[in-house]
Amino acid sequence: MSDAISALNHAQFTGFAEVEECGLQGMITLRGDLTSKPLIAGARTAGGRDGRDGKMPKMGMAEVAISVADRNGVCWMSPDEVLVLCPYDKVEAQLMALTTKLGKTHALAVNVSDARAMFRVSGGTAAREVLAKLCPVDMSPGAFKPGMFRRTRMAQVAAAFWMDDSEDIYIICFRSVAQYVFDLLKIAAQPGSQVGVY
């Protein structure tokens, strides 16, 4: 079998903030009643959140850990949808574990990993500024905080992002617009174009 490769295969750009395509990331879309116990248990297992407090992330929040050792998480997408993140090579197994936990619960779970692309923008307040240039979202440190998850538009396409504890921003978009989003981020992070509002 041929090797799976992400949309831009770790493309990088260094401007006043760092932009990087994150490579392959497992993603499962899960829709259903977010208060249903089997659904919560399934999402937490598949998203590698076992042994935490056993709840869904609250409205507008995400619980994600992306590191060398970890690529897991659960993100609140809408009142009836969460996005489960897991390592790319584990996605089928995690989907199976999720489906097993769901049992007969009315829900929908689909592997969407190959339909998406993921980026990281880092550089502290500089990263906030890159996003602020592209999205109609208040990115000031008082308004957008680590742990928050926001679906919005990035210039002309849909995007979703969250911020981790080191204030790196992770962006998810459709794979078909990955190049467009990378180009946007590069232009927004161009050296010399920093506004310095934050």
Partner 1 sequence: MLILHCPYCGVKGEETEFAPGGEAHLARHGPGSTDDDFKSYLFSRKNPRGVHFERWRHASGCGKWFHAARATDTLEVYATYKAQTLAPPKQVLDIIAKKRPGWNI
136 belongs to the binding site for partner 1 (CB under 8 A) = yes
Distances (CA, A) of 189 to 16, 97, 125: 6, 40, 12
Spatial neighbors of 3 by CB under 8 A, at least 6 apart, are none
Q: Which stretch binds partner 1 (CB under 8 A): 3-11, 76-84, 95-103, 171-179?
A: 76-84
Burial of 122 (0-12, 13-18, 19+ CB in 10 A): middle
145 belongs to the binding site for partner 1 (CB under 8 A) = no
**Residue 33 or 81: which CB sits closer to partner 1?**
81
196 belongs to the binding site for partner 1 (CB under 8 A) = no
Size of the site for partner 1 (CB under 8 A): 13
Q: Which of 14, 100, 140, 152 binds partner 1 (CB under 8 A)?
A: 152
Kindly state the smallest distance separating residue 190's Cβ from partner 1, in Å. Answer: 23
What three-state secondary structure class fits 87? coil
* Length of the chain, in residues: 198
115 belongs to the binding site for partner 1 (CB under 8 A) = no
Q: Which of 51, 79, 142, 196 binds partner 1 (CB under 8 A)?
A: 79
158 belongs to the binding site for partner 1 (CB under 8 A) = yes
Q: Give the closest residue to 196 by CA, choosing from 130, 150, 143, 148.
A: 130
Strand partners, 154: 157
**Residue 78 or 100: which CB sits closer to partner 1?**
78
Query: How many CA atoms does the CB half-sphere of 142 hold within 13 Å?
Result: 2
Distances (CA, A) of 4 to 1, 19, 23, 71: 9, 22, 10, 17
Q: Which of 12, 78, 100, 193 binds partner 1 (CB under 8 A)?
A: 78
Interface mask (CB under 8 A) for partner 1, residues 21-60, using x and -?
--------------------------------------xx
Read off the DSSP letter of residue 56: P
User: Can you give the binding site for partner 1, defined by CB under 8 A?
Assistant: 59-60, 77-79, 81, 136-137, 150-153, 158
